[in-house]
Structure 1
Amino acid sequence: MPASLDLTAAFRATMGRLATGVSVITTRNESDPIGMTASAVASLSMDPLQLIVCIGNHLYTCEAITNSGRFAVNILGEGSEELAMNFAVSKPDKFAGVDFHVEHGVPVLRDAIAYVVCDVAAALPGGDHTIFVGDARHFEHREQARPLLYFAGGFRSMRRAPSAAVPVRTS
């Protein structure tokens, strides 16, 4: 096995120790909803309100976001493993049987615990991925919902409810 494959596997295993939330990134091509499961999502800025999503260049979702200029991040909650897997595999109609509505031109999953609809502000190269910077245009969330997590190659749940936020002093 070439050393680069060993390094790739080791890096993947190492980064797999970083617990992340599970989201479904949705957009539209000219007529159909498009979506994929992602864990490479992060808040970027509060002024302006922005987030980033990283999408593999080989995926049709990357091309669809580039063409549409808009996407939604649908944050999944505990118990949504089947929904996450539905959008993680390649198949003709990932939206068959999925409850969604169109919000600001993109599909939004009704079972998501939160969502953010974004306009693409920038598309940056990131190796074999494209880093999309999204300007948040519309967002909602459910109070008291607990996230679906991804850790070490599998889905996980929080063991207990999060404690109340503790203020942090910056000066």
Structure 2
Amino acid sequence: MSTSASLRSGATAQQAFRDVMAAVATPVTVVTALDGGRPHGTTVSAFASLSLTPPMVLVSLDERSRLLAIVRRSGRFGVNVLGAHQADLASVFARSAPDKFDGIDWAPSGELPRLPGAAAWIAAEVADCVDAGDHTVLLAHVTAAEPGEGSLRPLTYHRRSFGTHTPLTQ
């Protein structure tokens, strides 16, 4: 039996895949949307630049996510790229709770919930939704993009813990 075939099923294969993916450093974002004026959001590490012309990003959301249902209805979402100082926010939005925004500062930006102090902000309109296993990949056109303060280090997730990027010295 080939290695790739063995990864198609079984708890051992699933754990092996999780362990491999834990070795990949990813950016940490909070993806947000409004539903009836009420903010919703979730922590997402499956986020990437997709295209420069036109500007596009991709985000992957769990198929059971309440946020995914909201984004499907509205066709829009915001991406708050978190800074290293925002690990607490990543933890808040990673949990399952009916109102993750309780006690969290936010402001509307183009009718999307924006978290202050993020390393970057992106507003996007969904171009396509692709079913992918237990997730849905949202391919989206960027309608607004703003970097945060230049001195902010990004929040990353690697080996099941939060960290940040440190440039190599030349």
Alignment of 1:34-73 (within 5 A): 34-73=40-79
Give SS of 1:84's match.
Answer: helix
What is the alpha-carbon distance in structure 1 between the residues aligned to residue 64 and residue 30 of structure 2?
17
Distance 2:169 2:89 in 1: 27
* Secondary structure of residue in 2 paired with 1:95: coil
1:133 is aligned to 139
Paired residues, number: 161
With over 3 angstroms needed to count, the CA separation of the structure-2 counterparts of 1:101 and 1:163, relative to structure 1, is farther
Report whether the alignment pairs 1:86 with 2:92: yes
Counterpart check, 1:27 vs 2:44: no
**Amino acid in the other structure paired with 2:62:** G
- Counterpart code for 2:129: A
Deviation at 1:26, TM superposition (A): 0.2
Please give the TM-score of this superposition, normalised by the length of structure 2. 0.90
Deviation, structure 1 residue 78: 0.9
Task: State how far apart, in whole Å, the 2-side matches of 1:37 and 1:162 are.
Answer: 28
Task: Verify the 8 A CA contact 1:146 1:161 in the aligned structure 2.
Answer: no
Name the TM-score, length of structure 1 as normaliser. Answer: 0.89
Identity %: 34
CA distance, structure 2, for counterparts of residue 64 and residue 162 of structure 1: 41
AA of the residue aligned to 2:161: G
- Tell me which amino acid in the other structure corresponds to 1:94: K
Which residue matches 2:151? 144
Q: CA RMSD in A?
A: 1.5
User: 1:163 Cα shift?
Assistant: 6.6
- Structure 1 portions without partners, runs of 5+: 165-171
Partner of 1:98: 104
List, as ranges, runs of 4+ consecutive aligned residues in structure 1 with deviation greater than 2 Å: 160-164
User: How many angstroms apart in 1 are the aligned matches of 2:127 and 2:62?
Assistant: 18
Distance in 2, matches of 1:26 and 1:50, equals 17
